[in-house]
């Protein structure tokens, strides 16, 4: 019985059974036509992957810390 009630719960929610108590979700606050500054190449974290990858390789070879470099990381496969 409990299992059947749990299975029915999502369906009830989809029908709006709890609409009144739902917190209001934020809308995406930056519209596509407002992204001209962000589309500028100078706003990318790393414009050139080949150069950023090399710097991460230098840091990883000379420093003990590693990882969380963002899109240009991933390890150097070297000793």
Distance CA 52, CA 72 (A): 6
Contacting other proteins (CB under 8 A), which of 1, 5, 15, 22?
Answer: 22
Q: Under rule CB under 8 A, how many of the chain's residues touch other proteins?
A: 51
Q: Does 8 contact other proteins by CB under 8 A? A: no
SS (H, E, C) 10-56: HHHHHCCCCHHHCCCCCCCCCCHHHCHHHHCHHHCCCCCHHHHHHHH
Per CB under 8 A, residues contacting other proteins are 9-10, 13-14, 18, 21-23, 25, 27-32, 34-35, 37-38, 40, 42-45, 47-51, 53-55, 58-59, 62-71, 73-79
């Amino acid at each position: 019985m409990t299992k059947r009630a749990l299975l029915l719960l999502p369906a009830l929610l989809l029908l709006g059974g709890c609409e009144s108590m739902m917190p209001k979700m934020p809308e995406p606050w930056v519209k596509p036509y407002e992204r001209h500054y962000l589309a500028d190449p100078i706003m990318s974290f790393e414009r050139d992957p080949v150069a950023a990858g090399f710097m991460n390789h230098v840091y990883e070879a000379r420093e003990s810390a590693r990882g969380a470099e963002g899109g240009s990381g991933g390890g150097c496969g070297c000793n």
